[in-house]
Structure 1
């Protein structure tokens, strides 16, 4: 029998591969802008391969790609009739891939996320949001997920509604918050206050994901770690955010020589602003050092980046056999069988 999420957390760090949204856009299967996961229905094999790539790179979890697959997003693109089929298909594909893990069957997580509808003063709107979460979590339960991941909430109260609907189905909950540049959730809570409340209300894992890169997320993760007793999750975006530009939404690119079609580098011109894998490893080392339990990377992450994080926190991925090893590189290698006239040329290459 495969271990539950809680059993795995008790035994050491858990890795969750996220980042499908940007990765599948990069591969040509998601439209930037609307960012709706229609790929689950249109190109199921492409989604399965993406799931597989992240799992083999170290993810303990195959997270069903239903981020933005909620009723509001489907309304905007005029495809509400595909809402349930999309959700069920994404979970079924995740279950198929999870069973392929050669060591231990991966966990499968349902996924709900920010609706972009929340208004603290709109009681009717809150019930609409509750109904949206309820149907998605019900489908997750019926399809047999191991837990539900509720993510990228920038209102505490919306996260609380999500948690309540997950609990109604008797499923473990991972709840992570997205923090914009103000450094406070939009309904006035600090992330550490919100995480403490969510933990008290029964979330198995609390923490942060998305919006912020390692440099600008880590200080808040440290506050969360000192404020809660249980498991803490951290899943930053792999971009070089700064104090001046703390989120990926407004990162400038001073080296760009063309006029961008968008107001900012987000979402399709962020490429030069990536952290490299060793910067991500340094972050993962710090995060593990303060007691983070649930690791991952969010929008923009590639499988090789996730593998670096997994290996840094002490895990060996299935595809760790393909981790970098420069010993046999023709120019920079150290193997004695390499041709000396090549290795001697490395400083002039």
Structure 2
């Protein structure tokens, strides 16, 4: 949404659900047609704290409800099987393990958002990007109070440990044992620096495991996309980091993403996707790597008829001869 021009980097509040519902429906549709079994309601950061920061708490409930309603409309468009619709809650950025008042506020914020999810008829709730284990537990508890299935995924920062001291695989084991339908990781890390942890989670968890990396070339030295350097950048960046608005040169290509998806599936990861920065074409590559033909697989690359690199018998030979010089 930010790349399309309908979201402000920094605050990252999805006001688009109210201001440009047609755009949001189009993006929902693009990802569903690219192979997503789930239309995820765009309410990440649409919680009371973020709405307070931008001075629009009065829009909190309308934004949440409309994002879900739009997702349900698109899910019904699937030509063969109606897509699932997931409500969404996320890290609040106010959780403090030493402050009970902050925990109570977090619980209240989750409770109101999940109640709207329940009333709007979602299939499950996706709680994501938690970097505190205890905050994830609160999210799970509030989802369970509404009788909804829970997908809970953790965001692991560069310390390689959750902020309240839990190893991510131990956190996921506990969350699974507490009743989360799916547990795992999302965001912050690209495939190369997330996959080793997914393998550890798979070893510790009996239930379903999720992996949704960002599509960027994170490394052992720079395990998250927050501090990825771009050695080829020749201009002055307004921030000290390439995150969040100068990450484009640091993308994995779709074939690398597809190779990760195969690896994740072979590892036993059950709930496979992508996080911040992903495109529908990338998600289609993930789906096809998992042997799923998508609605838009008809548009998957086929270079046979390309004027320089094709193999079709009717192509002009003088163009084909030029391919090595082009």
| Aligned residue among 324, 328, 335 for 2:305 | 328
Does residue 127 (structure 1) correspond to residue 89 (structure 2)? The answer is: no
* Deviation at residue 233 of structure 1 after TM alignment: 0.3
Partner of 1:210 in structure 2? 187
- The reply on whether 1:230 has 2:179 as its aligned counterpart is no
Between Structure 1 and Structure 2, how many residues are aligned? 326
Structure 1 outlier segments of 4+, above 4 Å: none
Give the superposition deviation at 1:32: 0.4
2:229 to 240, 246, 252: 252
Residue equivalent to 1:83:
60
| Aligned equivalents of 2:176, 2:312: Cα separation in 1 | 52
**What are the residue-to-residue correspondences of 1:154-303 with 2, within 5 Å?**
154-303=131-280
Aligned to 2:127: 150
1:61 aligns with 2:8: no
Q: Secondary structure at the match of 2:85?
A: strand
- TM normalised by structure 1 equals 0.93
- Which segments of 5 or more consecutive residues in structure 1 lack a partner in the other structure? 1-23
What is the SS of the residue equivalent to 1:249? helix
User: Residue 263 of structure 1: CA displacement?
Assistant: 1.4
Q: 2:293 aligns with which of 293, 316, 321?
A: 316
Shift of 1:203: 0.2
The alpha-carbon deviation at position 314 of structure 1 amounts to 1.1
Q: Secondary structure at the match of 2:134?
A: helix
Partner Cα distance (1:336, 1:229) in 2: 53
Cα deviation for residue 242 of structure 1 reads: 0.1
Cα distance in 2 for partners of 1:156, 1:142 equals: 27
- Give 5+ residue unaligned stretches, structure 2: none
Q: Deviations over 1:230-263 (max 9, x none)?
A: 1000000000000000000000000000010011
Deviations 1:54-98 (A, max 9, x none): 000000000000000000000000000000000000000000000
State the Cα deviation string for residues 96-153 of structure 1 (Å, max 9, x = none).
0000001100000000000000110100110000000000000000000000000000
Distance 2:229 2:191 in 1: 17
